[in-house]
Structure 1
Amino acid sequence: MAEALVKFFVQRLNSLLVEEIETFSGLEDQMHRLVNTLREVGQYTEEMSCEEGDAATCGWVNELRELISEMDDHIDEFIIQMDRQKKSDCLVLTDCFRSELLKIESRLALAVHRMAELKIPTTVEEMEYSMENPHELEGRGEDDRKKSQEQASQIASPKNSATIGGQKKDDKDESQDFHDSQKSALKISTTTGGDEEDNMETSHGVEEGETSDQTFSQFQLDYNKLPYYLQSCFLYCCTFPEAYWIHKGRLIQLLVAEGLVQEKAGEIMEDIAEANINELIIQNMLQEEDNNPNRLSVPYLYRDFCIHKMEKKIFTATCTSPIFSFPRSARRVSIDLDKITVTPDLTDLQPRSLFLFGYQDLPEHDRNWLTLPWAKFLRVLDLEGRKIKSLPDEVENLIHLRYLGLRKTNINQLPASLGNLRALQTLVLRWCGYFKALPAKIINLAKLRHLKLGPNNSWGTTPSAGIGKLKNLLTLTGIHADCCITRELGNLVQLRKMGIIDVTGENVGEVFASIGKIQGLLCLSLMGKYVDHQLVLVLPDSFSPPPTIRKLRLDGLLQKLPQWLGSMKMLTKLRLGFSYLSENPMLVLHLLPNLTRLTLWQAYVSKQLGKEFCRVGWFPKLEFLQIASNVLEEWTAIEKGALPSLNCLHFHCCSKLRMLPEGLQFVTTLKHLYLFPLLDDHKERLKPDGGEENYKIKHISQISFIPTSCCEPSARRNAGDMCG
């Protein structure tokens, strides 16, 4: 983690020199000297083995961590003081900070001197040998040590790092610690139905009955092979509680806000973060939820290892027990409110990130913590699910805040001072209390990248006039289609995700004119307006959608599907909701060759589906098909050879469905079938012992259903609400 610590801090210093030009005026030379010295240290940490094996090196790394933390504190405090002072007082503050930088430079020079004196195993042979004999290399001559370090710089380069194997003495000690905390062998369970023991799988050759220290050894090797930015991404995922699904988009935005994404010239940070996450998925160190690749979790075997590693490195302090005290050096704090009885004391901390999880909430008298001195350093504040109704005015003091998550809170108003959060990148206000408009000063948030609103009411939130000035916006969702403000959306040419509510005949022209100007748009969601309790969506007959759109969601009654929908060749995900079409939508949708996920939620009013619903040759890449319909009674047949890639078939709210299609048995790629609810007599026909329709589904590995006889009246009411 030493490499990550140094390189991400250097990256932050470089960003501050660009973004805070006025604040650091007159200090540029000193800041550049710090950057150059830290780069030298960073090159050394590249050559270090991943776990800083001997005691001297571990001590040096701990000192380096403390020094960087202190530098971070001084810089953050200086920025706060400069923001509050009058111009005449800024010169005094700058002089004081210059003196602090000189002290830091001196301490950093000592660290560099100590770094040069450290002896580390460098060649592959020496690394393997030192794992068993860690002290025998200390007596070598200076020439031998330099020669070995030169060889190490080649061996430890990124292209060769994956080939370096073995386990150091510290790894063994750490493995024993881990083993002591794990009293039984660890196993992985799949979700493919049947008895749990029949579905045990192995990971990296770990067999049932192997000891946990052997498991730890393998995981240590997997972890060591990762570059520093993937190690940080992996550890960060364990900030979230066990059995908690992490939304991929949320994780991407958090990683960017935390500064845990390596910069690449010409690339958007969110794209780099997503690539990092995808690499961990490929390595099986993150897993996707079945049939929902946007929901992620750490496999529980890896999670045990990750938690142990995270606590050892003080990467994140997690409070998951009734009695818990945080280490003073904790930079990230994660609290599971369901597992504590007393609100943790954060007085002595200076955290940069705070997460509150669980169904329980803070006591009323403990909700004023945003006014406490330690909160001023926060960069990430995630309050999802808390019962707060408003933010205190003191929120304006959180000038370092980059991520503010208020999803599923009871927030119904935002203070005007929110516009003072000049570093804010992400503001999440989805599924909150009712508020119709944003504060006018929201347009002062020049660094804002993601503004996620709604659906907190049936007509969206009106953005502030001047919203078109936020040139860095990549995400803008849940906004009301106000004609005057909608014209400004066309100025947000960097937008990649847009969601507009209340699209009507009066404003549809302005809406689509703006959409047409955003040629890099990837995701688009359009919702109509309620007219006499019916959601109605108006779409233009002629339109040339941006060719880059990959995900599209349309909610509201449609007379017919527009022909331009069939021209969206890059579309991979489509949801039609409450469209109530009388014509078969597949006649248009089959023209989308790259479609992988299709949801028809009350989209097609037909009691019966036949072969014409999905012909051979249509939807060659479709993996997920979800159908919700109050009227559907039977799907009579599927042509043999149709749906060649289908993995999941999901029937939701199809309370009248009494027949699955003949030919379903030929869809051999199908692994998951969901029936919510399932008619009781239909259940009998699908039973494996004598069920007359069982031959259609016996090749499917996972079948989930809720028979209507098991549905409680309240569940039926809820299902009815969901089905609209």
Structure 2
Amino acid sequence: MILDDIWTISAWESIRCALPENKKGSRVIVTTRNEDVAKTCCSHPQDWIYKIQRLSDATSRELFFKKIFGSADKLPTDNLEEVSNSILKKCGGLPLAIESIGSLLASKINRSKQEWQKVCDNLGSELESNPTLEGAKQVLTLSYDDLPYHLKAYFLYLSIFPENYVIKRGPLVRRWIAEGFVGQRHGLSMEQVAESYFDEFVARSIVQPVRIDWNGKVRSCRVHDIMLEVIISKSLEENFASFLCDSTSLLVSHDKIRRLSIHSSHKLVQTTSASVSHVRSFTMPASIEEVPFFFPQLRLLRVLDMQGCSYLSINTLECICRFSQLKYLSLRNTKVCKLPRLLGNLKLLETLDIRATLVKKLPASAKNLSCMKHLLVGHKEQLTRTASVKYLKPCSGVEMAPGVVKNMAALQSLVHIMVKEQSLVLREIGLLQKLRKLNVLFRNVEVNWKAFVESLGKLASSLRSLSIHILDEKEYSSSLDILAYVESPPLLLTNFSLTGKLKSLPPWISSLRNVSRFTVRKTQLHAGAIEVFEDLPNLLYLKLYHNSYVDDRIVFRSGKFTKLCMLVIDNLENTEMVHFEEGSVPNLERLTLSFLREPKDGISGLQNLQKLREIVSKKKSSGRSSSLVTSYYPW
């Protein structure tokens, strides 16, 4: 029996009552786009879930041309090849989209490049008006109609992001909160509530995961091109958002524009008759080379995203500082090197994202940012395709003047703060009782360690992520050994990263029952540290970077590292042997290896890693570039 497209758990429960469990070997196949429904259907150990994959490029082309020409052997003429590829890219391997658009093109008498390009460029309007695509539109619209009322605004918000845009979990959650969508729920923070909604979109297959952590958490996603057309259509219908598009036209259905997003990849036309005085959210892509003429009129903005914009003048930055209602500001990956002293005017600002910029210091007026929740700085470079190996550039971090941090009592994320001489700043960190994520970079600060240790003790109940980097290159530079004297250590950490000399791990490290990620670099640890790591009950990721381990042998013992699923061994200079005993790291799925020279006694015991799926070998080459060799193991 096949039950196609079950939408809700209650629907399955109603049907299930009619299916007798008589042990006669019958089979029931259920299709659903909701992962929670799929899990509910699997009530017996022998039941299993099969996640249908998108069609390959070759299969997509075969289906597409068969629908248009009646045979997959009939290929388009050369002038149709390019536009065919563009259409198939929009379909993204979705059979329903390929068949529907193929049927539409087959119905057209004029099969010219211009006609096909018109369909490709105006797919949204075709979905609205063309009867051939009615079935596809109805199926996709069900995703919206089936949502509970409180999730519909979150769904429509996805229209803000242009085609093929990779949507990251953290920024999206913070934008939702700044927009005022997220309400309080007993026992949960607003961030936790918003993240649960993000996970629900993933479970309902509304978005496609792009990067998934090895604990199963989706870090980034993308909206299917066809689904995006449906969301944009609904967004315009509900007057939720308006768009400046490639056609240089402004898509808006009402007089008052609430959210404005540029979906253009060309030079922006500097004319529009629409009023922008009511805009609450503005998103400007990196492809636009100039700030639109109406920018100073956006006085009521709450959310401003200018990530990747190539040129932002000091006049533009000063203009931003006059948007007194602003709660979310992203200047990430821009060439901004200094923030205006007027920054303090943004008294409602909750998120300031200046990662991958040239900003080194906040102005003194930043002490007025009392509502700040997330101050995000720093520049990490990914050194492998899988992003398992990252490198924090030494120039990262922002200095804070004394008196600034203590006024940001609402801070939840402080990433990355640069500390040189200001011991007062280190004491102020201890006043941030809501701080959950702290990344600190130290330069020549031995005299300030006592203040930092005291602050860590005061944050023991709130911290969940802690990263400490000593950037001194001197032979007798500061040491991390002072961490052994933290009287009330942050035992609730889930993510811990250490960079700097360390004779041995602090005794309290063995008590980190919740830590799932541990990263060490330049720590010069010995075998005893591996024995501490191997007994951490919930450790999923272990990254041993350059000079973090100085013994010549690393042995992974039987029965240890029971939950570890990802291991990175990166450029350990003294390593002569890596050995995995039988029964060690039983759940390891990904192994990343990089050596400056080949270990004399090699790497042994790989055959004992029964769940290993991928090995990434990063070979040293000139500079920091690397060549990658990836192998997959079917066992």
What is the TM-score normalised by the length of structure 1?
Answer: 0.60
Supply the AA of the counterpart residue of 2:513: K
Contact 1:413–1:435 under 8 Å retained in 2:
yes
Instruction: Give the equivalent residue in structure 1 for 2:427.
Output: 487
Residue-pair matches, total = 496
Q: How does 1:88-167 map to 2 (within 5 A)?
A: none
Q: Say whether residues 1:355 and 2:355 are aligned partners.
A: no
Three-state SS of the structure 2 residue aligned to 1:526 is: strand
After superposition, what is the alpha-carbon deviation per residue over 1:114-154, rounded to whole angstroms, capped at 9, x for unaligned? xxxxxxxxxxxxxxxxxxxxxxxxxxxxxxxxxxxxxxxxx
Aligned to 2:456: 515
**Which residue of structure 1 lines up, in the alignment, with residue 300 of structure 2?**
377
What is the CA-CA distance between 1:633 and the residue it aligns to? 7.0
Letter in 2 for 1:306: I
Change (3 A) 1:305 1:409: same
Cα distance change, pair 254–484 in 1 and its aligned pair in 2 (3 A)? same
Q: Which has the higher helix share?
A: 1
- Cross-structure match for 1:562: 506
Of 566, 574, 580, the residue aligned with 1:624 is 566
- The CA deviation at 1:402 is 0.7
Residue equivalent to 1:15: none
User: 8 Å contact 2:589–2:613 — kept in the other structure?
Assistant: yes
Judging changes above 3 Å, is the alpha-carbon distance between structure 1 residues 601 and 450 closer, same or farther for their aligned structure 2 residues? same
Structure 2 match to 1:277: 198
How has the CA–CA distance of structure 1 residues 530 and 338 changed in structure 2, closer, same or farther, with 3 Å as cutoff?
farther
User: Alpha carbons of 1:326 and 1:389: their partners in 2 closer, same or farther (altered >3 Å)?
Assistant: same
Unaligned runs of 5+ in 2: 1-7, 16-51, 64-90, 101-132, 380-393, 622-628
Match of 1:415 among 331, 340, 347: 340
Partner in structure 2 of residue 542 of structure 1: 485
Identical counterparts, % of pairs: 25
Change in 2 beyond 3 A, CA 1:592/1:607: closer
Q: Check whether the contact 2:524–2:549 (CA below 8 A) recurs between aligned residues.
A: yes
The one of 579, 593, 599 equivalent to 2:537 is 593
TM-score (norm 2): 0.68
**Alpha-carbon separation, structure 2, partners of 1:340 and 1:323:** 9
Q: 1:276 to 1:639 in 2, by over 3 A?
A: same
CA deviations over 1:528-580 (Å, ceiling 9, x no partner):
13234998652422324222211112223433332322221111122223334
The correspondence for 1:433, drawn from 358, 366, 371, is 358
SS at match of 1:357: coil
- CA gap of 1:607–1:480, structure 2 versus 1, over 3 A, is closer
User: Which aligned pairs between 1:570-589 and structure 2 lie closer than 5 A?
Assistant: 570-583=514-527, 585-589=529-533
Tell me how far apart the structure 2 counterparts of residues 496 and 433 of structure 1 sit (CA, whole Å): 25
Mapped partners of 1:678, 1:197: distance in 2: 38
Task: Indicate whether 1:405 and 2:333 are aligned.
Answer: no
Do the aligned residues in 2 keep the contact of 1:408 with 1:430 (CA within 8 Å)? yes
Q: What is the 5 A alignment of 1:435-514?
A: 435-436=360-361, 438-454=362-378, 457=395, 460-481=398-419, 482-502=422-442, 504-514=445-455
* 1:439-461 per-position Cα deviation (integer Å, ceiling 9, x unaligned): 22222222221122335835641
CA distance in 1, matches of 2:269, 2:600: 53
In structure 1, stretches of 5+ residues that fail to align are 1-157, 166-186, 680-685, 688-693, 701-724
Question: Counterpart of 1:388?
Answer: 312
Shift in CA distance, 599/658, structure 1 to aligned 2, threshold 3 Å: same
**CA 1:402/1:341 → structure 2, altered by over 3 Å: closer, same or farther?**
closer
After superposition, the C-alpha distances for 1:477-514 in whole angstroms (9 at most, x for unaligned) are 22233201211111111111112111642222211211
The aligned residue for residue 641 of structure 1 is: 583
Contact 1:505 1:538 survives alignment (8 Å) = no
Equivalent in 587, 603, 610 of residue 668 of structure 1: 610
**1:338 match:** 265
AA matched with 1:500: V
Distance 1:486 1:640, change over 3 A: same
Q: Which amino acid aligns with 1:384?
A: Q
Residues 508 and 539, structure 1, Cα contact 8 Å, conserved in 2? no
- Structure 2 residue identity aligned to 1:555: T
Name the counterpart of 2:54. 189
Q: What is the alpha-carbon root mean square deviation over aligned residues? A: 3.9
Identify if the C-alpha distance between structure 1 residues 563 and 248 changes in structure 2 by more than 3 Å, giving closer, same or farther: same
SS of 1:626 mapped into structure 2: strand
- The alpha-carbon deviation at position 584 of structure 1 amounts to 6.1
> In 1, distance between residues paired with 2:430 and 2:608?
47
1:306 aligned onto 2:231: yes
Contact kept, 8 Å, 1:598 with 1:625, in 2: the verdict is: yes
Question: 1:597 deviation in Å?
Answer: 2.0
In the other structure, the counterpart of 2:634 is: 699
Match of 1:354, SS state, is strand
Aligned-partner Cα distance in 2 for 1:626–1:196: 36
C-alpha deviation, 1:517, in angstroms? 0.7
Bigger shift: 501-510 or 284-293? 284-293
- Conserved in 2, the CA contact under 8 Å of 1:649 and 1:674? yes
Q: How much has 1:405 moved relative to structure 2?
A: 0.9
Question: Do the aligned partners of residues 477 and 575 (structure 1) sit closer, same or farther apart at CA in structure 2, a change above 3 Å counting?
Answer: same
Provide the secondary structure at the position in 1 that maps to 2:591: strand
> Following the alignment from structure 2 to structure 1, what is the Cα–Cα distance between the partners of residues 479 and 306?
34
Would you say the 8 A contact 1:322–1:341 is kept in 2? no
User: In 1, Cα distance between the equivalents of 2:233 and 2:589?
Assistant: 36
In 2: Cα distance, 1:343 partner to 1:655 partner? 57
Q: Report SS of the residue matched to 2:562.
A: coil
Q: Summarize deviations over 1:569-598 as a string: whole Å, max 9, x none.
A: 111122223334354642221121111122
Q: Match of 1:297?
A: 221
Deviation at 1:323, TM superposition (A): 2.4
Deviations 1:395-424 (A, max 9, x none): 343111111111122222222222122221
Alpha-carbon separation, structure 1, partners of 2:508 and 2:266: 52
Distance 1:645 1:314 in 2: 49
User: CA 1:220–1:322 in 2, change beyond 3 Å: closer, same or farther?
Assistant: closer
The question of whether the paired residues in 2 share the 8 Å contact of 1:429 and 1:452 is answered with yes
